[in-house]
Amino acid sequence: MSTAPFILVSPASRGVGLGLTRHYLRTTSLPVYATHRSSDPAFVKSHILDAQGMDDSSAERLKLLGPVEMTDEASIKNAADKLSAELKRQAGEAGKEGAAYIHRAWFCAGILHPEKRFEELDYDQILKTFKVNVISHLLAMKHFAPFLPPRSSSSEQGPAKWIHISARVGSISDNNSLGGWPSYRCSKAALNQAIRTFDLNLNMKKIPALCAGIHPGTVHTDLVDGGAFWHGPDPAHGKFELPDAVERITSVVERLQENQRGRVWDWKGQEVQP
Ligand SMILES: NC(=O)c1ccc[n+]([C@@H]2O[C@H](COP(=O)([O-])OP(=O)(O)OC[C@H]3O[C@@H](n4cnc5c(N)ncnc54)[C@H](OP(=O)(O)O)[C@@H]3O)[C@@H](O)[C@H]2O)c1
């Protein structure tokens, strides 16, 4: 069966997801499906396209899926249903036999409630952190996995790559000195287990795709800016402006091999130990 590849980025409104969406519009000729939770898709679209290197083709290839509230399963499922309907419509229009499948998928949802001490832990904040950082990723696996290539298919470009943005602080073996951010840390450790488990599942089903996690370094986005953790780029110590981080992590993902599946890799291409 022939397949038409596409990119999926969720969410794409800000930060790393926005940078990745622009990167794929700029550097590929593939359709890019991007989720957002705004009630103003025209604004989201113009914001994504308001960057260097965007042209008419970028505008045509950028397809928004939304609004998607990551703490609501019905909302995530609704986006997957919209994607399915859109792909069927396009296949019908083109009279194609083959279907469109994910080539690269990035799941970026994450929030940080930066508790310094255990006394600062708050039930609602912990719950929200786990809803966004873990549960939404599990539900993306549930609802978007059907868009991966089927086991009967093959691609000259190798396996599809399904990536979750994790963080080094999710590593238990690396947690030796500072501690801190317990809810975020625990959520990323749980996400890493979800990544491993989903990858095993893909492998068992012989789906031509691998799942992995990426630690992007410290990236200048609202996540760190709002928390005043940003004191300027310092690439030697893993601190990057957004375009630099995106170049590095997409390059790591392009180089990922079968024997690296199910694990978490940093912006240098080195493993973040579990
Ligand atoms: N920045 C860093 O230094 C760093 C380091 C390590 C790991 N990470 C990870 O990288 C990922 C991306 O972080 P970032 O730095 O790009 O953060 P960001 O700039 O704060 O962007 C967060 C994104 O998540 C979306 N989002 C948050 N809660 C949502 C919800 N309930 N429903 C729908 N969308 C929601 C936001 O959408 P709206 O625009 O609608 O709010 C926004 O698109 C996260 O998983 C983070 O943990 C970041």
Average pLDDT over residues 88-110: 85
The residue type found at 273 is Q
Type and span of the H or E element at 100: strand 99-107
pLDDT of residue 3: 59
> Could you tell me if the CB of 187 is within 6 A of ligand 1?
no
Nearest to 140 by CA among 8, 16, 19, 229: 8
**CB distance 49 to ligand 1 below 6 Å:** no
pLDDT at residue 156, rounded to an integer: 75
Query: Any idea where the domains of the chain sit in the sequence?
Result: 3-272
Q: Whose CA is nearest to atom 37 of ligand 1?
A: 13
For 3-272, CATH gives: 3.40.50.720
Q: Which residue has the higher pLDDT, 183 or 97?
A: 183
Between residues 31 and 4, which one has the greater pLDDT? Answer: 31
Q: What is the pLDDT of residue 2?
A: 46
Ligand 1 center–CA 243 separation, angstroms: 15
Question: Bigger pLDDT: 179 or 61?
Answer: 61
Look at ligand 1, atom 10, and give the residue with the nearest C-alpha. Answer: 165
Q: Positive or negative CA dihedral for 253, 259, 261, 267?
A: negative
Q: What percent of the chain has pLDDT over 70?
A: 95
- Which alpha helices (H) appear in the chain, and where do they start and end? 15-27, 41-49, 56-61, 73-94, 123-130, 136-144, 182-204, 222-225, 242-255
Q: What is the mean pLDDT of residues 245-272?
A: 98
Structure tokens at 31: 């359709």
pLDDT value at position 95? 66
Summarised one tens digit per residue, pLDDT across range 188-243 is 999 999 999 999 999 999 999 999 999 999 999 999 866 567 889 999 999 999 99
Q: Is the CB of 219 under 6 A from ligand 1?
A: yes
* CA of residue 125 to ligand 1 center, whole Å: 15
